[in-house]
Structures are given as structure tokens and as C-alpha cells.
Structure 1
Amino acid sequence: MKFNPKLAIVYAAATLATSAFALTPAEHSAEKDRISAEYKAAKEQCKALKGNAKDVCEEQAKGVEKVSSAELKYKVEPNEKNQYAVAKAKADADYGVAKEKCDDFSGNSKDVCQKDAKSAHVKALESAKVSEVRKDPSSKPGDIANARKDANEKTMEADYKAAKQRCDPLSGDAKDACIADAKRRFGQ
């Protein structure tokens, strides 16, 4: 076998590049400590707030911690599963904050807010699932199409529930027309 200097250079560069991104155990531990410290500092800042603003602040702090932890895990093991976990953590964090913000409302306004938050959560999760299937090297074009179809169905259903909730304060023919319009728009 003949020695190929260009191949050796490419191999060395690839090895150095992958090892440059890998975290040592000490760096990993330091990152975990940093995430924990940032979470504690954010929670401490929330103590100055009152009522629902405090709850929203705490939910934001919790969400940032979960996203940071998922991103750290992805740094350590960059694969599709961990990339999906990052997207899911972001969606869950946004959903938690949005749900907490809904507590500022009451009655139907609160219900609509919660349905809108759920709809946005479903969209984000389904988008992450489609992305995961798309990036999977073993997936076939049919798998991607099925994932998109499932995502569209779940998204449309969540959007329909939010639209239907907006119809609740109406009555009589106006409510019937509102629900019929929501069914038509979201294919229910």
C-alpha cells in the first residue's frame, strides 16, 4: 500500500476537528456547574417579583436550564436523538412559559390562551419530529412524507381546538357559523 500524504492530512484534520469539539470530563463538569449556577441566579432574581410574574420568571429559568442541559448532552454526543431532545426541550420550555402567562387571564380568554399555547407546542414538537426523520440516514422518502402528514394532522387538530375555543363566548347562529368556519379551515 502506498502512503498518500494528502489522505494523511485529511485524516489528521478530521481527527483534530472531532476532538476539538469533544468536551473533557472536567469541561463537562464545569458546564454542568455553570448551568446550575445560572439557574440558581435566575431563580434568585425571581424572588423579587410577585404573583404570576414570579411564576412566569421561575418557569423561564426552569426552561433555560432544561434547554442548556439538553444542549450540553448534544455537545457530548451529537446525534439525531440528542438533537431532537434539544428541540423538544425548547418546545417544552416555551409551552411551560406560555401556559404560565395564561394565568393572567380568566374565563374563556384563559382557555383560548391555553389552547393557543398547546397549538404552538404541538407545532414545535411535530416540526422537530419531521426534522429528526429527515436527518435520519436510514429514512426513506415515504417515511418523511408520512412524518409530514402526521405532523400536519396533529397541527391542524390543535389549531382547530384553539379556533373552536374562540367560538365559545358566542351563542346561537354566530357560534354555529364560527364552529363551521373552524371545521372548514382546519379540515375537521
Structure 2
Amino acid sequence: MNKLNLTVIATAIGLVFSAGVMAQSMSKDAYKAAEDRITAEYATDKAKCDSLSGNTKDICIAEAKGKENVAKAELEVRYEPTAKNRYNALVAKAEADYAVANEKCDDKAGNDKDICVKEAKAVETRVKADAEAQMKTSEANKAAGEKSAEASKKARAEGAEARQEATTEKVDANYAVAKEKCDSLASGAKETCLNEAKAKFGK
């Protein structure tokens, strides 16, 4: 995934947790009807995979399941627009994208496949880490708004800590990708590559 797409995702995460985009809750009947539609759509999508074979079929099934999981998570946001549900929706999207990307990696072999898997996992890790940081910051700010100035100070500290944790997780994911890329090199070049990766990511 390129930097532009990651920027778009990061922007979307920020918008999802902003107060201005909180969805209106829906009725229980509307929720049940939407849930039934999601289940029916998944059955239809999965049936389309039956005529396929091999990894193409696996990718198709992963796409169908991912679509269902994302739709269910987004439905929960519409039904009960809490910070936790919005976070779960972002996680569902990240996991769905990873599942499909991981299946597509099966079309590769050797170190190319290993790199593909690590890169897919790194993208998932980055998105989930940012989503978690935003959720923690949002919840801390909400709690602080209901309490004292001391609580506001604590909320800022918790937000900073959450962002630092997200940064650490993303660095670790990127380092894992860099190490995997080094594995395709010969001994001397591999050692140099690993040392450069360690220096770059502070390991």
C-alpha cells in the first residue's frame, strides 16, 4: 500500500473519531433488517466463489467474508455510535484488507511471498495502531470534558501515551518488513542490510 493510501486511511480514522461525524442511531427493526441483508449478501457473494478454484477461490472467499465483517461492524456504528464501535469498524476493515492481501501473497513464492505477507501485516498493524490511539485519545478527552482541569491534563498525557504506543507498533512492523527483505541477500550484504535496518528503526 502506497503512502497516499495510508494518508487517506489516517485521515479517515481521524474523521471517524471526530464528534462531527457521529452517526444517528437507528431503530431496532431497521437494525435487524440491515443485519438480514448483510447475511443474505454474504451468502450470495460466497456462492459466486463456488465456481472458482485454487487461490482465486480463496481470495474470493476472503473478500466476501471481509465485506460481511466490515458491513456488520459499520452497522453497529449506525446502531450505537460509540468510540468503541467506530474503532471496531476500522479494525474490521484493516483485518479484511489483510486477509485478502495475505491470500494474494499465496500467488508468490519464497522470499517474495514472505515480504508480501510482512508488508500486508505491517499495513494492518499501522491502521489498527492509529485507530486504537485515536480511540484512547477520544475517550480520554470525553472523560476530561466531564471533569476537572486535572482530568484534562491526565487526558492529554493518556493521549500522548497512546500515540507513542502506536508509533512503536508501527516501527516494529516496518522493521519486520525490512528484515524480511534482507533475507534475500547474500551473507555479507545481508549483514549490512540488517545493520542498516537496525539503525533506521532504532533496534
Give the TM bin, normalised by the shorter chain. Answer: 0.7 to 0.9
CA distance in 1, matches of 2:202, 2:169: 11
CA distance in 2, matches of 1:86, 1:76: 12
Which residue is 1:83 aligned to? 86
Which residue is 1:11 aligned to? none
Which residue is 2:97 aligned to? 94
Structure 2: runs of 5 or more not aligned? 1-22, 145-154
| Equivalent pair of 2:182/2:193 in contact (CA under 8 Å) | yes
Task: Return the letter of the residue paired with 2:124.
Answer: H
Which residue is 2:143 aligned to? 138
Which residue is 2:173 aligned to? 158
Q: Does 1:180 align with 2:195?
A: yes
The alignment's TM-score, normalised by the length of structure 1, stands at 0.85
Which residue is 1:56 aligned to? 59
CA distance in 1, matches of 2:114, 2:122: 12
CA distance in 2, matches of 1:94, 1:22: 27
Relative contact order, CA 8 A, sep 6+: which one is greater?
A: 2
Which residue is 1:13 aligned to? none
CA distance in 1, matches of 2:185, 2:158: 42
Q: Give 1:180 shift.
A: 1.1
Task: Return the letter of the residue paired with 1:121.
Answer: E
Which residue is 2:120 aligned to? 117
Q: Does 1:47 align with 2:62?
A: no
Report the number of matched residues: 169
CA distance in 1, matches of 2:173, 2:87: 21
CA distance in 1, matches of 2:73, 2:47: 22
Structure 1: runs of 5 or more not aligned? 1-19
| Equivalent pair of 2:27/2:79 in contact (CA under 8 Å) | no
CA distance in 2, matches of 1:22, 1:132: 19
